[in-house]
Chains A and B, each alone.
Chain A
Amino acid sequence: MSKKIRIATTSLAGCFGCHMSFLDIDERLTQLAEAVEFNRSPITDIKQCSACDIGLIEGGVCNADNVHVLREFRDQCKMLVAVGACAINGGLPAMRNEVPLEECLTEAYIDGIGIENPVIPNDPELPLLLNKVHPIHEIVTIDYFLPGCPPSADEFWAFLSDIIAGQEPVLATELIHFD
């Protein structure tokens, strides 16, 4: 039996909706399990990425840790895939790009309605926020894109089926949606 395709996944500034949609391939998961194995991913709880064939990145880049994780994936994955609207163009989190970061934090932790003990969190374990949320192609080279919010299960499956079959992935037009 040939070697299994090794996949890593992560969610950066995302909502895990893309991961949930990925799981919506339902019974096709058993077919997938025969052909692939998962490395670093919320599915395995492995914390460090080792050499992989494919890295699926959900979410944009909003803090220093996101940059670190994204670079780790780029170093380890032969093919890096931007999954979903947030990874591709920043998505909903990028709505904050129109507001200065200080104003965002002040509204969320100081001036917002019903806030007790107003203080902007400053624990050294918390990754520092970037001034803006960025699509991941602005940080590292991306090899393929799966648009959608989230990409549909069929879109995931079309992509993965092509990869498993050893073909270059091509999305049919009806699978391309940005919403």
Chain B
Amino acid sequence: MTGYFKLDGRSIPFQPGQTIIQAAADADVYIPHLCYHPDFTPHGSCKLCSVQVNGRICSACTFPASDGLEVLSETSDLNARRQKITQMLFVEGNHFCPYCEKSGNCQLQAVAYHVKMLDSHFPHFFPQRPLDATHPDVLLDYDRCIFCALCVRASQEADGKNVFALSGRNINKHLIINSESGTLKDSDIAAEDKAVEVCPTGALLRRGQAYKTPIGQRQYDHQDIEQVSLQQEKAHDV
């Protein structure tokens, strides 16, 4: 089914099978997101892409576009909700940008800038989480995992492997690794895997890259994630 829906009053065309976020990106409209990636099956878990569809709040990454929908995205209410969601992601883990080597290239941080998050608002959990430094080429810092499951999907759908899964609930939710020891060194992971590249935070890192690009010259240091994301979507479509 093709047709048009209204997004913040603008008419957006869509192709058969497209979700709201896909059609919006094709029309150069950014809807903030973290767990969504155009290459992979949508997960609908981070809730940053929440939009109002005919008055009801839905995830734009999973909601199918259809003719005549009235969708609102850039409202003060939805943007305030996005800021609170981002703050919750920050307090739930241990996200200390000054000593994270992903700083400046981190989508979580960039989304926080985009939603003008100045503080974390909520009390911090300071959870105790381990660090998996067992693999020579890939580092997994559980402190920075936001459970977006992009690595889970990328490992299965792009790498043809099955290295990651999510397990547990609430504050005990965590990433698990498909290996005898439960650590990266015994898994099928390789540094060039899409699962590593696609991590939106500094949870999965290629080792030995660290500060090759200095702080201040990184992807989101001088460019809003809105522009970067739309450029990447364009490159992806080509």
Contacts and interface: CB of A to CB of B under 8 A. Distances in A.
Bound together: yes
Interface residues of B, number: 29
Secondary structure class of chain B's binding surface, majority of residues:
loop
Given A132-B126, A135-B124, A178-B98, A147 B104 contact: no
Contacts of A113: none
Contacts of A98: 94, 126, 128-129
A88 B215 CA distance: 20
B98 A176 contact: no
Nearest to B104: A179
Interface in B93-139: 94-100, 103-104, 109, 112-114, 116-121, 123-124, 126, 128-129
A138 B119 CA distance: 12
A92 interface: yes
A90 B124 CA distance: 9
B90 interface: yes
B222 interface: yes
B192 interface: no
A179 B98 contact: yes
Nearest to B103: A179
Contacts of A145: 118-119
Nearest to A174: B222
A137 B117 CA distance: 14
A128 interface: no
B116 A92 contact: no
Contacts of A173: 113-114, 116, 224
Contacts of A138: 123-124
- Chain A interface: which size bin? 20 to 34
Interface string B73-104: 00000000000000000100011111110011
A94 interface: yes
A85 B103 CA distance: 13
Given A97-B126, A135-B124, A173-B224, A85 B98 contact: yes
Interface string A51-66: 0000000000000000
A137 B120 CA distance: 9
A88 B119 contact: yes
Interface string A69-102: 0000000000000100100111110110110000
A137 B119 contact: yes
Nearest to A170: B116
Nearest to A99: B128
Contact of B96 (A89, A142, A176): A89
A171 interface: yes
Contacts of A134: 124
Given A145-B119, A179-B215, A85 B128 contact: no
Nearest to B113: A176
7 contacts: A94-B94, A98-B129, A142-B119, A173-B116, A178-B103, A178-B109, A179-B100
Interface of B: 90, 94-100, 103-104, 109, 112-114, 116-121, 123-124, 126, 128-129, 215, 221-222, 224
Q: Which 4 A-B pairs have the closest CB atoms?
A: A149-B98, A178-B97, A145-B118, A145-B119
